[in-house]
Amino acid sequence: MADGPLLAELYFGREDAERDVTDGLLLRGAFLPTAAYRGAVTGRKMLIIGRKGSGKSAICMQLMADGPHPHRRVLVTPDETAGEELRRFELQGLPGDSAKALIWRYVFAVHTARHLMAHAKDEHGGKPGSIKALARFLKQNDELSGLSGQSGQSALSGGQLGARLAQGARGLQTSLSLEAFGVKAGVDLAQPASEGARAVRQLDVVEQGVARALADLSCDGTHGPLLLMVDQLEQVWSAESDSNSMVIGLLLAAKHAAGLYGGAVRPLLFLRSDIYDSLSFGEGDKFHGDELRIVWTEQSLRDLALARARASVGEALSAEELWQEIFPETVRGEETAKYLFSRCLPRPRDAIQFLNLCQERAWLLNGRDRITEEDVLLANQQFSDWKLNDLAMEYLVAHPFLKRLFPLFQNTGYVVTRAALGARFEAAAETLHRLFPAYVDALTPAGVIDAMYGVGFLGVRRGNDVVFAGGDGLPVQPHEMEFHVHPCFREALGATSAIDLRPYEPLSAGTRIVTGNISPAASGTTAVTRDVRLLRELIRSCHSILDQVGRATGVTHEVRNEITEQVERVLRDVNGMVTAGRFVDVDDHLLTVAHYFTGLAGQLLDSGLDGAVGAGRAVGAEDVAHRIEEVVRGLRRLAGGSYGSSGDSAGT
């Protein structure tokens, strides 16, 4: 099925939902309804929580463009101007969280009032007195300007939102014009206990006016609710106390509005998980029932990829055609889709970028009519570089030191233990503490593990599985000792093997085999017999090591596989010599192998892998290393025998 034009048309979309909508792909079937989307649509959940790139804004865009309640949605996306207004808003007599909750309540009340004006005109054919009162209030407080979009639908962002917030803040801090509701500020709100108390009384009047209008229209259950959506708070969040108060205030205001306005108005908040998880406030336990965290599995990413591929090529593309004809069936012996999605963090943005890279390398750069295994491998290198840098930028506010920790995992095995990481950290600690003095308490070996696990860089070994953040929700436990760098980052770090073992390369022996230079030997059969016996002893020694590795249940199967691969290379080399009947200088060959095995044992002892086992007696890396050392001593004795040092001479 795959030909040049089809591959040219294949496109998995933009990384950001806003441009995905503009390009039209998101609205042509590329949006995949998820549990988070269903929770938002049905009203079961008020807080949609997910990492950057997990699809929060895509849900917003889908609801704004073609949701189940057309023309009844408001999207608020603060920029720095609006964020500054929110962060610095204070009221004498109220704590920061409560003060910022009031400004958010005011934003919700004003948006609801503006919606009710348009709704009453469009769908009720008239304006009851309570609606007219809202119109007068909005006009008197200059809240009618900046209406955008269709009737009842608006998007408030940028400087426009900043101006609205600044005006509302001034009104709450001084006095709003409330004559439309029959309240004269100078008389009915005289002498409040504090600035904060005055603002609360004013806001109560406004909210009661909005609630009265909702009751007069009697829309609850007749029309879909007004969705008040807030997204992209990360644009104005800074991990400081006033930023946290801004978000906590939003949560408090949303819960208040949901209770006050009933089913007619529904706040819907989209928050980054690192922001939400950093909050600590007394009311936090009351929001658990409102939370829904976005979770992507390998299968859901496959479904997303297929939906986007179909939306781009405009035909009924099957999964088999995508993954077996357009893409190669396998990459390095692994099913292609599994290879791709295991090497990106589980979120749509990463998957889209990786898939588009494969298509671009095949079609744009090489003019191919299908994607090859080489295209995928080269795309993986570039993608890994991108993601390592992106991770540092994503958490620049929460963990500004993150990029400085990457060298601890560079050019080494992707399996790391607490002991090994502790040794590496000790060498870097002084520099890290000097560069980031405010984070000294967090910059410890345990703190590094917690941070790297929390951002998805490290996974932790639990039983037979390696678990990454977002899986079972359990943080790293003190007794857990073994960690794995996520496959997404391994290429960029040069950590593509479980353990950093030097590969076996018998250079001296290999050169003699290639050139055909046979070592001197006595005439007759005695020397040949001894050479064969020595080589067979080397074969036996390799099997002894492999047996020990097979029993090393205290070492992960990835590490066992790495050791096994290198020992089997030695074994294949020796078996090839015996089978061919052409012998190099056997004593020199044994010493070459012994030297390699000595280095292998040293690498295992230095790896700290037994730190993942503890003092229990599962066979670990140390046991394997000691077996290798025993083998080395035996090989050196055998090689020395040719000179008479062991008494095992060649038949004299």
Q: pLDDT tens digits, residue range 172-205?
A: 888 888 888 888 754 455 555 688 888 899 999 9
**More confident: 310 or 81:** 310
Please determine, for residue 152, whether its predicted confidence score (pLDDT) is greater than 50.
Answer: no
pLDDT classification of 508: cutoffs 50, 70, 90: very low
Instruction: Please tell me the predicted confidence (pLDDT) of residue 192.
Output: 57
Point out the least confidently predicted range of 22-36, 164-178, 313-327, 628-642. 22-36
Please determine, for residue 538, whether its predicted confidence score (pLDDT) is greater than 50.
Answer: yes
pLDDT classification of 108: cutoffs 50, 70, 90: very high
Mean predicted confidence (pLDDT) in 124-153: 73
**More confident: 226 or 473:** 226
Q: pLDDT tens digits, residue range 73-85?
A: 888 888 777 778 8
pLDDT classification of 334: cutoffs 50, 70, 90: very high
Backbone dihedral region for residue 506 (phi beyond 0: left; psi -120 to 50: alpha; all else: beta): beta
Strands 458-462 and 465-467: antiparallel
Mean predicted confidence (pLDDT) in 304-330: 90
CA distance 26 to 231: 18
Rounded to the nearest 5 degrees, what angle is found at the Cα of 261, between the Cα atoms of 198 and 289?
105
Cβ burial, residue 393 (10 Å; 0-12/13-18/19+): exposed
Mean predicted confidence (pLDDT) in 524-546: 76
Instruction: Please tell me the predicted confidence (pLDDT) of residue 472.
Output: 57
pLDDT classification of 607: cutoffs 50, 70, 90: confident
Instruction: Please tell me the predicted confidence (pLDDT) of residue 280.
Output: 85
Most confident of the ranges 2-6, 173-177, 246-250, 638-642: 246-250
**More confident: 192 or 593:** 593
Please report, for the chain, the start and end positions of each structural domain, with discontinuous segments joined by +: 4-14+297-370, 78-268, 402-493, 507-641
pLDDT classification of 436: cutoffs 50, 70, 90: very high
Most confident of the ranges 139-153, 294-308, 310-324: 294-308
Neighbouring residues of 63: CB distance < 8 A, sequence distance ≥ 6:
40, 41, 73, 227, 229, 268
Please determine, for residue 157, whether its predicted confidence score (pLDDT) is greater than 60.
Answer: no
Instruction: Please tell me the predicted confidence (pLDDT) of residue 433.
Output: 96
**More confident: 640 or 436:** 436
Instruction: Please tell me the predicted confidence (pLDDT) of residue 617.
Output: 57
CATH class of 507-641: mainly alpha
Question: Bridge-partner residues for 258, per DSSP?
Answer: none
Please determine, for residue 552, whether its predicted confidence score (pLDDT) is greater than 90.
Answer: no
* Average model confidence (pLDDT) across the chain: 82
CA distances to 73, 143, 216, 411, 612 from 121, rounded to whole Å, are 17, 18, 14, 67, 69
Neighbouring residues of 500: CB distance < 8 A, sequence distance ≥ 6:
411, 412, 413, 603, 607
pLDDT classification of 517: cutoffs 50, 70, 90: very low
Instruction: Please tell me the predicted confidence (pLDDT) of residue 170.
Output: 84
Instruction: Please tell me the predicted confidence (pLDDT) of residue 608.
Output: 72
Please determine, for residue 332, whether its predicted confidence score (pLDDT) is greater than 80.
Answer: yes
Instruction: Please tell me the predicted confidence (pLDDT) of residue 445.
Output: 96
Mean predicted confidence (pLDDT) in 8-34: 73
Q: pLDDT tens digits, residue range 375-400?
A: 999 999 999 999 999 999 999 988 99
Instruction: Please tell me the predicted confidence (pLDDT) of residue 614.
Output: 46
Provide, rounded to the nearest whole percent, the portion of the chain with pLDDT above 90. Answer: 35
Mean predicted confidence (pLDDT) in 510-531: 45
CA distance 116 to 652: 109
Nearest to 90 by CA among 101, 105, 106: 101
CB 246 within 8 A of CB 100: yes
